[in-house]
Amino acid sequence: MNHTLILGLGNPLMGDDGVGCRAARLLADDPRLPLGAQSIPAGTDLLRWMDRIEGHEHVILIDAMRAAPDARIEVLHDDFTGLSMQQTTAHSLSAAQAIALMQQSDPALCNVRFTLVAVPVASAEIRIGLSPETEARLPAILDTVLLELICETNAK
């Protein structure tokens, strides 16, 4: 069984919505990333990663969440009931909805531990690149994910 898969979610063409993809790219090249962990910018469709998720013990998702930009980065473990389960359009699912759907369609995914690193962003607008405020938070985002990995390693 593979250890940890980190998936950075979001659309880099929508400004701060792409923060997950940007963080995943940075983590992939970060020498602090432990052996056994893999970090991939995953785009907006979490469902297309089902095959890659299967066989992992732990999946960490990094995703933008609309909130006050000075709100703190939230780390949610397995219980995403605090997140909206309402679908906003016919063509998109929230991370929580996608996880629930994957686990319903493939019972093996019920054994995967999911962690969501929710990064507060004020908006997602058509723009390439992150806002200066979100760009400045990247070190804290990386540290948050790496701390999750360290805690996971120490718990074993």
- Say which residue the tokens 């985002």 belong to: 141
Provide the pLDDT confidence category of residue 124 given band limits of 50, 70 and 90: confident
And the tokens for 150? 């360290």
Spatial CB neighbours of 66, under 8 Å, sequence gap ≥ 6: 120, 121, 122, 123, 124
pLDDT value of position 67:
84
Calpha distance 133→138 (Å, rounded): 9
Helix (H, G, I), strand (E, B) or coil at 117: strand
CA-CA distance, 92 to 110, in Å (whole number)? 22
* Whether the Cβ atoms of residue 88 and residue 95 lie closer than 8 Å to each other: no
**pLDDT confidence of residue 89:** 46
For residue 133 the two structure tokens come to 């405020």
Please give the sequence-ordered ranges of beta strands (E in DSSP) within the chain, or none if there are none: 2-9, 37-43, 56-66, 74-77, 113-121
Residue 38 has pLDDT above 50, yes or no: yes
Indicate the pLDDT class of residue 11, thresholds 50, 70 and 90. very high
For the chain, the structural domain boundaries read 2-155
CATH superfamily of the 2-155 domain: HybD-like (3.40.50.1450)
Place of tokens 């432990």: 34
Task: Examine the pLDDT at 87 and tell me if it is beyond 50.
Answer: no
Q: Beta-carbon neighbour count of residue 104 at 10 Å?
A: 10
**Four-point Cα dihedral 97, 121, 36, 31, nearest 10:** 170
Residue 94 has a pLDDT of: 80
Q: Measure the CA–CA gap between 73 and 58, rounded to whole angstroms.
A: 19
pLDDT above 90: percentage of residues in the chain: 62
